[in-house]
Structure 1
Amino acid sequence: MVPRLLGTGPRRINTPSPLILPAARATTGDMELFEDAAPSNIHEFTVSEISGAVKRVLEGEFGRVRVRGEIGRVSRPSSGHVYFDLKDDRAVIAAVTWKGQAARLSTRPEEGIEVIATGRLTTFPGQSKYQLIVEEIEPAGAGALMMMLEKRRKALAAEGLFDESRKRPLPYLPRVIGVVTSPSGAVIRDILHRLRDRFPTRVLIWPVAVQGEGCAPQVTAAIQGFNALPQGGAIPRPDLIIVARGGGSLEDLWGFNEEAVVRAAAASEIPLISAVGHETDTTLIDFASDRRAPTPTAAAEMAVPVRAELAARLAEIRARMMRAAQARNQRQRQRLTDLGRALGRPQALTDPARQRFDLFAERLEPALRGFVRARRDRLNALPLSLSALRTMLRSRREALQAQGQRLPLCLARLGRSRAERLAELGNRLERARARMLADAARQTRRDRDMLDRLAARLAAAAARMLPPRREALERLDRLRQTLGYRETLRRGFAVVHGPSGLLTQAAEAAQTPRFEIEFLDGRLAARPDAPPAKPARKPPEPKGQKSLF
């Protein structure tokens, strides 16, 4: 039987009808033997032609499809492409995502989850197989998302990212609070309003997207950016971080379940409060954060105390301190009074001392007179000692004058030695300065040469990169022109304009009193009641022409 390639629509492939020639027949008993049939006039295809035809039919019929199935056998080679299988209970389809598209997938392929893959079917002639080129992957319902979420939660918990021992206490009164959220939502207004009511403090807002493809990388960058701020810099480093978002579906909150966000929250050196969703919503960042708040407003209440309550508490403590001080003074005063009662009369303590003073006062005058007399006799015996003192002073004065005469010579000699030392240090300093200037000049020349080489490389790279970029831009412009509706008009189509816009339905055109039909070279007015134009006759196809399509 001759193989036949079939398609549908305008891409159907027809093969020539087989012509069977009669074969010679020989009879031997009850058995009939047939000789080989003679060569037929069936068209012969090469392997490449068959492969190309199959590829065009498959890509034409399944230009863009959505396939639902379970992911199995995920492979990520060093090239960056991702190969995996899509399967159900009866069939398996090979799928591939190229390197550039794999980095933009909102859901990474993981074995065992059910997804809906969007892409196009094509063939791989080198192995005679077909495969799905995947451009987008989305989980097939909340069940698949929950299964993926639970699998990711267990994997991260096994690494210890959710351990209670890693969580840090929140600062009691943070001076600066960093908030990671959308700047245009109601969440930031609720947080600021509650902080203003409880304890006004400085707030730094890092604007991010709270859902969609950009959510996870932006939230990760915000947490890492707050932690990278230096202490005492131009932008103050926060003492506390709040990651907040309002409620939503599991798909809306999925960005806070991404592994990058969870790892950034666990690695944050600044204490972090997770306030994502409402009280019933749970995301993986809640497990990695230091504290989970049921709502963004509750996160603001956790962050700061109530200033009025603090003031009342301080006033109460101050009053208790005053009462305690007064009570202590009262007790000390009473103790002093009690001890004073146990003491005797002060006069009883001073009377013996007064009596001893009177006794010594009578003996004081004779003692002073004897002391003065003894001192006078000792002073009268001093002339001989004064002469010796004068001799000693004279000798010391002469020695001092001799030392004074030697002092200028010593100072001059010391000045010369210090000048010579200073000159030597000046020469060494000058030589060191010349050596440093020479080294700096050599380094400057090396840097200038390197700068010239880098400038030449930069100019060469720019000259090498600009032509392909310009060609890519021209291809995109040609593609834009091809996809525009003017090219559609050039292929024989027309656009019907009504008074209020385009007309796409025959019933709508029938109710319109007058409309215009736009062709490639202009517009033509028409009415729905005008007689139809006679269709143009299609030129006959030439006979005997064989084509693959």
Structure 2
Amino acid sequence: MPGDNAAAFTVSELSGRLKRMVEGEFGHVKLRGEISGFKRAASGHVYLCLKDEKAVIDGVMWRGVASAVPFAPQDGLEVIATGKLTTYPGRSKYQIVIERMELAGEGALMALFEKLKATLGAEGLFDTAAKKPLPFLPRTIGVVTSPTGAVIRDILHRLEDRCPTHVVVWPVKVQGEGSAQEVARAIRGFDALPADGAVPRPDLLIVARGGGSIEDLWSFNEEVVVRAIADCSIPLISAVGHETDTSLSDHAADLRAPTPTAAAELAVPVLAELRNMLATMTLRSERCARRYHERGRERLDALVRVLPKRDALLGPQRQRADEAARALGLALERRLALGHRQLDRAAGALRPAMLAQRLAAAKDRLASAGRLLEAAHPEKPLERGYAWVEARESGTVATTADDARKAAALRLHFKDGTVDARVERSGPTSYDRKKPKPATKPEQPNLL
């Protein structure tokens, strides 16, 4: 206004006064509203808006607070946020710094429950076909629960009463900040144990917690727990809450137990009943074996009564044996007589005169063969003036005149030695000269 001498505020001064005014007037407040524009920064801080039908306020949760929220905030979820109302001078906006967040009533939790159930069910985490059968008599049972509550005592007592079994407990928090992560790590830790390690790998897992409100049991509805149960290769029983309580862990597990005590009953049979059953089966087996033996004896006796007597069965065979014995004796006598006759003939052929006659005939045949061999000797004709002609160089016998002419140098074998010769002239033999020439027919004079 004209004449106004009031000093002007700087923007920072005004923002600071507004900040002090807002923080001093409201301090800590509790707001109920619907989450909108939910974002989680890389630093871990969460930025969101809380709104109702007529207004919207910005909100921020620092990383430490955001990690402690027992559920997964998301758009559309109605919550109650407790925190400090302040301003952000850089944007001239007021906001709430959230220090605690909880769901706004059971209806909101159930809506979130149904939404998570539909989402995870669509991925097949609750499929019945993926359920694994429980072992009949597990040697080691792993239990994921609080080590100080009544739940673990009830499980151990029930197992001791029914069938004492080795139990390995993985202690976890079952409620509050970080409980869902601990439960998931315990399940995956049991599943990662080697079969031959220092800590025995369980044949069966029990995830258990006592009863409580839906908020108390919410850790077992968290996605991290449900996925750990669905991925576990060890058969798993979920025993969360009382009989009327249902969690998403129950849907993902291989079997749901209404209570932790019931889980112990489902895990093992009653040892006394097993012993009674074995004793009954043993007695029945003995009775069956005895009855089978008795019936076999009866059937054998019945067969013995209808079988023919031994003498009746063996009579024909005995008669045939006697006949064969008699025939064998006669055959031996005939064979012995024949042998005697052959021996007599052979003995007669061995008399001295017969032997001398055969010896003389053999000598004559031998002398005849000797004479024949001597006459066939190639040097025998040399004694009668014949000579044996041989080619000197080749050593082959020249049997014809043509062979002698071709050899030129000859060697003549006589009775008392050899003489070398050479072919000087080739002409007709004396036989050819003495052979008369054929008479020639006189030529007929020409009459014309």
Aligned to 2:92: 128
Distance 1:79 1:209 in 2: 26
Distance 2:224 2:328 in 1: 99
CA contact (8 A) 2:68 2:178 kept: no
Q: For 1:45-77, what per-residue CA distance to the aligned partner results, in whole angstroms no more than 9, with x for missing partners?
A: 222222232223323334432222121222234
Distance 1:364 1:193 in 2: 92
Q: For 1:168-216, what per-residue CA distance to the aligned partner results, in whole angstroms no more than 9, with x for missing partners?
A: 1111111111111111111111111111111111111111112111321
Correspondence 1:206 to 2:150: no
Correspondence 1:171 to 2:135: yes
Aligned to 1:320: 284
Question: What amino acid sits opposite 1:238 in the alignment?
Answer: P
Q: Name the SS for the 2:220 alignment partner.
A: helix
Aligned to 1:240: 204
Distance 1:77 1:209 in 2: 28
Aligned to 1:162: 126
CA contact (8 A) 2:70 2:178 kept: no
Aligned to 2:106: 142
Aligned partner of 1:296 among 260, 278, 287: 260
Q: Name the SS for the 2:13 alignment partner.
A: helix
Aligned to 1:309: 273
Aligned partner of 1:83 among 29, 33, 47: 47
Aligned to 1:269: 233
Question: What amino acid sits opposite 1:158 in the alignment?
Answer: A
- Indicate the larger mover: 208-217 or 287-296: 208-217
What is the CA-CA distance between 1:92 and the residue it aligns to? 0.8
Q: How many residues align?
A: 338
Q: Name the SS for the 1:103 alignment partner.
A: helix
Correspondence 1:218 to 2:182: yes
TM-score, scaled relative to structure 2: 0.70
Distance 2:166 2:227 in 1: 27
Distance 1:284 1:319 in 2: 47
Structure 1, unpaired ranges of 5+:
1-19, 21-36, 378-549
Aligned to 1:340: 304
Correspondence 1:280 to 2:244: yes
CA RMSD of aligned residues (A): 2.4
The 3 A distance-change label for structure 1 pair 367 and 215 is: farther
Correspondence 1:183 to 2:147: yes
Aligned to 2:294: 330
Aligned partner of 1:64 among 23, 28, 34: 28
Correspondence 1:108 to 2:82: no
What is the CA-CA distance between 1:134 and the residue it aligns to? 1.7
Aligned to 2:213: 249
Q: Name the SS for the 1:112 alignment partner.
A: coil
Aligned partner of 2:192 among 215, 228, 232: 228
Structure 2, unpaired ranges of 5+:
344-448
Larger Rg: 1 or 2?
2
What is the CA-CA distance between 1:329 and the residue it aligns to? 2.0
Aligned to 1:195: 159
Correspondence 1:152 to 2:116: yes
What is the CA-CA distance between 1:115 and the residue it aligns to? 1.2
What is the CA-CA distance between 1:100 and the residue it aligns to? 4.2
CA contact (8 A) 1:107 1:137 kept: no
Q: Name the SS for the 2:144 alignment partner.
A: strand
Correspondence 1:93 to 2:57: yes
Question: What amino acid sits opposite 2:230 in the alignment?
Answer: A
Distance 1:213 1:264 in 2: 18
CA contact (8 A) 1:106 1:136 kept: no
Identical residues among aligned pairs (%): 60
Question: What amino acid sits opposite 2:291 in the alignment?
Answer: A
Runs of 4+ in 1 over 4 A off after TM superposition: 362-371
Q: Name the SS for the 1:179 alignment partner.
A: strand
Query: Which structure has the higher relative contact order (CA within 8 Å, separation 6+)?
Result: 2
Correspondence 1:44 to 2:35: no
TM-score, scaled relative to structure 1: 0.58
